[in-house]
Amino acid sequence: MNRRTREARLAIMAIMAIMAIMAIMAILLLVLGSISFAQTASPCMAEKAQQDERTYQSCLRMYTSQKIFQSPYVMAVYATKGPHTALGTGVVANINGAEYVITNNHVIEGADDIFLQFSHADKQIYTARVIGRDPAADLALLIAPVLSRGIGTVLFGRSPRLGEEVYALGYPHDMRSVTFGFINALETRSWLYFLMQAPINPGNSGGPLFNANHELIGFNTVIIPGATMGFAISIKYARQILSRLTREQLVEHGDVGFDFADTWRMLPPFFAKHSLSFPPAEQGIMVVRIDPASHAAKNGIKIGDLIVALNGAAIMNAEDLDRNVFLHYRPGDEIVLTTKRGAQMFERRIKLMAYASPFAGAQ
């Protein structure tokens, strides 16, 4: 056997050995994955075997609720404000490579001191302080020495979906609890929020809203009195704001200084009240109320004007305009709005005001 033949055989044998090792590793991963899946699914396998779908789904929800209830990175937030103490909920998250506690701004705003408690069984109270807050979006970031102990962090999920199951974890009335429900409407009242039918109460504010995969998809924010529904801040937009909160002590958002709406949503009484023709000759984004102290009012924008473009770029609808200004501009920034009144077009340069939260005073 010559040298070249021996080298060729050795090369073939090496390749076959590598392929054998890869095959063994693949089998091991498959087996381990099957075991992991079986362990996860096993609590409800008896119900599934009986082909009782309703009982099976109830079992899955119970099992998911138990897992979420045990989340180690969710805590009660106590904010002392003079003789009073505000109660909310917080969740630990990794943002830009560091760990923070996320909660609602209205829980900690004006606080003299802030304390955290991860569970009543723990019997330990930890101090925290604010590093960034956003009153308009009702979000705040806290830091605390206890986070260095490796408590763990929540897993961010995808955007919420209409009709999906949700689980609200928090400390309503200072009692750790988890409630179950569904998402009823997306981007309602404001594109920043969605409506969900999971009961929340005072103390839930700032707490996480999970999907069935134990992923964070929103923050419980506003209670609807007398109803088993509430509003949550969508993770879709919250993540952009949270990143700013790590760099800015106070995050503010721009506001054009007037209210506007899509004409197709507007009712005839509005047009009659302002002596405008109905139906309107042209569909679009219409100015419906204006702050007389705003720069927009001083620069000639009036009720009934149509907003056509922002800084030369066409605007599709009212939500698009509001979201664009809120996320990308700050108070004091100047923008150019292209407006239309009848057949006339105008370029209006305006200075932005500060955006006020639509849920100011939330509990």
Out of 71, 134, 138, 294, pick the active-site residue. Answer: 138
Out of 106, 234, 305, 322, pick the active-site residue. Answer: 106
Is position 190 annotated as part of the catalytic site?
no
Q: Which amino acid is at 80?
A: T
Is position 138 annotated as part of the catalytic site?
yes
Out of 71, 177, 190, 205, pick the active-site residue. Answer: 205
Is position 255 annotated as part of the catalytic site?
no
- Nearest in space to 164 (alpha carbons), one of 217, 201, 235, 232: 217
Written as six digits, the tokens of 41 are: 């699914």
Question: What residues are labeled active site?
Answer: 106, 138, 205
